[in-house]
Structure 1
Amino acid sequence: MAEKPEIWTIRKVLDWTRGYLAEKGVENARLETEWLLSAALGLDRVGLYVNFDKPLNPEELAACRGLVARRAKREPLQYILGTQEFCGLDFAVTPSVLIPRHDTEVIVEEALRRAPHAAAVLDIGVGSGCIAVALAKQLPHAQVWGVEQSPDAIALAQRNVERHGARVTLFEGSLFEPFGDQRFDLIVSNPPYIPTADLEALQPEVREYEPRAALDGGSDGLDFYRLIVPAAPEYLNPGGWLMVELGIGQAEAVLGMFSRAGFCDCFTAQDPNGIDRVVGGRIG
């Protein structure tokens, strides 16, 4: 007599996958398992538990296995699902852009607090467009521009601009190159800031999958600040602000650059973990 095929219910797949991903070094394995199975089965997370004892058919099992296999190789969950939330908005993400982090929301918060009347805003290194779009949605009177070297990133950012109906104009180029004598009330940037020697010690999700050009800040991680900070005053209106995100232990050096470039009212702002995450200053 032929053996009956093993029955895989949602509960059984959840339990097995959680243990499997944990063995592979995935943090928050239970939560990530729920997101993966929700995507594979077209359910929300509540729907998983309502249908706990539902057996999966072969097609559903294959869909689950495909997504789980990708995550077990440490491919980021956000690239697998294709989305990431930032400032309460949902953004499309692909391996052509850095995954938006909640730490980066600090730069948006500081920009809104210190420059609430900014009418012309520039985001340097726009990536997925998350900063530019978030600012455009919160500053409906402003025109926001974004610049990015990667054509693939620009294409994705444009999708996110259109998704949210944001007033953002994107340019392909380097730093201030496309803007001639244009002036802004607010310039923001989340540039690459990981020291080159530290890249190999990053989590596999970051090291193996996120774009190296969006991570590598040179030997000390400060290469892009040396380009952005001294040049920014020429592109700011009187009273305009420059704000940049930075990495652990970089605030003092970047504050020095701001001071030498003639900025006043310089500040640092911490992320939820108490790390100095943003440095900013104003041109008098």
Structure 2
Amino acid sequence: MPTVKEILNDTKKRLKEQGIDTYSLDSSLLVSEVTGLTKIQLVTHDRDEVTEEQINRLENLVKERLKNKPMQYILGHCEFMGLDFKVTENTLIPRGDTENIVEEVIATIENSGYNTVLDMCTGTGAIAISVAHYTKAKVTASDISSKALEVARENAKILNADVNFIESDLFENINETFDVLVSNPPYIESEVIPTLMEQVKDYEPMLALDGGKDGLDFYRNIINQAKNYINQNGCIVFEIGYNQGGQVKSLLENAGFVNINVKQDLAGLDRLVIGFKL
């Protein structure tokens, strides 16, 4: 039977030939998945033989990656804010960029003494669960997708996070008010979606991507009603696309929010907007 080193090198070769930039990392993750070895053990146990069952399983996973299926969907989980989240094709894959919005919410809670948070369009529950994990706030999360909420509830259970989940089309089933309303809504322009990378447009749920003609549909709909659901002196926090800061800021200003700030990510691109209700 082949060794760990042999199947790792073969996997790297196949992914590289397919033009997958992350072929080395992906190969290590896939071989680790089927052998149960850590990244370090792939080196220290590289002469260990693998079983036929492991080879067959690896082959199935490699075929999925060669089709540009995202690694997170192949493995069924991903890391976010130091926590391990289950992901399925019914949920958007949590991105590292979204950690910016979580960190902003956590800092705002700590600085302002906020106690209640609503995460709208929660998907995997990554934002809500992270906020619940790292603060003492009472967290509610909503999504229109029942399948996404199944994943979010499972993540909360696994991570021992106390989050109240509500199936709701935006505010339809929301009956409380909150100190913080946070959302990473769909914000990609409809006509841009066909130009996205295959692993995004072909696998991630369109429901979580399409923000309408100009990408702002969900911001408008949320902002138009948000003041009815935010407590006095509370705030609203959005993740945004790199080119949407000025537009979302204007929407918030027109709705009467104050002290509005557009903030950048580590790459210097506009990534979130925060505003306050007097």
Q: Are residues 1:154 and 2:149 paired?
A: yes
Q: Are residues 1:100 and 2:94 paired?
A: yes
Contact 2:184 2:239 in 1 (8 A): yes
* Corresponding residue SS for 2:93: coil
Once the 2 structures are TM-superposed, how far is the Cα of residue 230 of structure 1 from its aligned partner?
A: 2.1
Which of 258, 270, 275 aligns to 1:276? It is 270
Counterpart in the other structure of 1:62: 56
* Alpha-carbon distance in structure 2 between the residues aligned to 1:137 and 1:149: 23
2:123 maps to a residue whose letter is G
Once the 2 structures are TM-superposed, how far is the Cα of residue 171 of structure 1 from its aligned partner?
A: 0.6
Once the 2 structures are TM-superposed, how far is the Cα of residue 114 of structure 1 from its aligned partner?
A: 2.0
1:178 maps to a residue whose letter is N
Counterpart in the other structure of 1:250: 244
Counterpart in the other structure of 1:178: 173
Aligned-residue Cα RMSD (Å) equals 1.1
* Alpha-carbon distance in structure 2 between the residues aligned to 1:222 and 1:46: 45
Counterpart in the other structure of 2:107: 113
Counterpart in the other structure of 1:259: 253
Counterpart in the other structure of 2:216: 222
* Alpha-carbon distance in structure 2 between the residues aligned to 1:178 and 1:42: 43
1:48 maps to a residue whose letter is L
Which of 172, 194, 197 aligns to 2:188? It is 194
Once the 2 structures are TM-superposed, how far is the Cα of residue 57 of structure 1 from its aligned partner?
A: 2.9
Q: Are residues 1:9 and 2:3 paired?
A: yes
Contact 2:35 2:50 in 1 (8 A): no
Once the 2 structures are TM-superposed, how far is the Cα of residue 67 of structure 1 from its aligned partner?
A: 1.0
Q: Which runs of 5+ in 1 are unaligned?
A: 1-6
* Corresponding residue SS for 1:266: strand
Map of 1:130-149 to 2, 5 A cutoff? 130-140=126-136, 142-149=137-144
Q: Are residues 1:163 and 2:163 paired?
A: no
* Corresponding residue SS for 1:166: coil
CA deviations over 1:81-123 (Å, ceiling 9, x no partner): 1111111111110100000001001111111122322211100
Once the 2 structures are TM-superposed, how far is the Cα of residue 9 of structure 1 from its aligned partner?
A: 1.9
Contact 2:187 2:211 in 1 (8 A): yes
* Alpha-carbon distance in structure 1 between the residues aligned to 2:184 and 2:78: 17
Contact 1:193 1:217 in 2 (8 A): yes
Counterpart in the other structure of 1:203: 197
CA deviations over 1:142-194 (Å, ceiling 9, x no partner): 211111111110111000111111121001111111123x2100000000001
Contact 1:193 1:215 in 2 (8 A): yes
Higher CA-based Rg:
1
Contact 1:106 1:269 in 2 (8 A): no
* Alpha-carbon distance in structure 1 between the residues aligned to 2:210 and 2:217: 9
* Alpha-carbon distance in structure 2 between the residues aligned to 1:279 and 1:170: 24
Counterpart in the other structure of 1:238: 232
CA deviations over 1:120-146 (Å, ceiling 9, x no partner): 110000100000000011222x21111
1:171 maps to a residue whose letter is I
* Corresponding residue SS for 1:216: coil
Contact 1:95 1:211 in 2 (8 A): yes
Counterpart in the other structure of 1:3: none
* Alpha-carbon distance in structure 1 between the residues aligned to 2:171 and 2:75: 33
Number of positions where the alignment pairs a residue of Structure 1 with one of Structure 2: 276
* Corresponding residue SS for 2:48: coil
Could you tell which deviates more after superposition, 93-102 or 264-273?
Answer: 264-273
Counterpart in the other structure of 1:4: none
Contact 1:87 1:134 in 2 (8 A): yes
* Corresponding residue SS for 1:198: helix
Q: Are residues 1:36 and 2:30 paired?
A: yes
Once the 2 structures are TM-superposed, how far is the Cα of residue 264 of structure 1 from its aligned partner?
A: 0.9
* Corresponding residue SS for 2:173: helix
* Corresponding residue SS for 1:239: strand
Contact 2:109 2:115 in 1 (8 A): no
